[in-house]
Chains A and B, each alone.
Chain A
């Protein structure tokens, strides 16, 4: 069974500072991993995904994540935070089951950006 743990329900950074959102996963097979962002009153939007190609994945809005199998981690980073990055971020893991890939989501991390 797959599961996702996001460390820290809230992360607070200053504008221009490094953003680091942590995600650890558990999966019985090589997983597919995702980061989604949810802005207030909106649905989720895919930031990036890992599908067993390059371990360093670049996404939209300057975000990237690195898949580390030995640490079962898929942390999300951005070198310099913008005010517009304030949102809820979800890590998800997906395994193949009956021909479908259904993501299991973490509980989310709220990113707060201070001016």
Chain B
């Protein structure tokens, strides 16, 4: 158990819908990362937050957005969903940024878009 929790574990929804994935980092970790894992693209970095502020952005679509709240949990919002958005979405957390801190991964949310 990494200490990172993600809800829900599974999500099935239809094209065009909007969903919210939630992540709680390890106690004491200030940095949160979101990744998408799919058969087509492999494991792709989406976005990083540190203490409520966006720190780095990867291959995140404009239809996707994220935020980190004062209690440090984070949410990833996916809208206008397409079949190709079906994937495993991982959240990871680390103590901070600016050095190579170990990232601790949650168990993931499996999103299926039908």
Contacts and interface: CB of A to CB of B under 8 A. Distances in A.
A43 B105 contact: yes
B97 A99 contact: yes
Given A44-B43, A105-B43, 19 more contacts: A43-B4, A43-B92, A43-B108, A44-B105, A46-B102, A46-B103, A100-B55, A100-B98, A101-B97, A101-B99, A102-B33, A102-B45, A102-B58, A105-B42, A105-B44, A106-B42, A107-B42, A108-B42, A108-B43
B42 A49 contact: no
Contact of B56 (A41, A44, A98): A98
Size category of the binding interface on chain A: 20 to 34
Given A32-B100, A101-B100, A41 B107 contact: yes
A99 B98 CA distance: 5
Contact of A45 (B2, B43, B101): B2
A42 B2 CA distance: 10
Interface in A32-80: 32, 41-46, 49, 51
B100 A97 contact: no
Contacts of B108: 42-43
A24 interface: no
A32 B98 CA distance: 13
Contacts, number: 55
Size category of the binding interface on chain B: 20 to 34
A35 B107 CA distance: 18
Contacts of A46: 102-103
Contacts of B56: 97-98, 100, 102
Interface in B92-114: 92, 97-103, 105-108
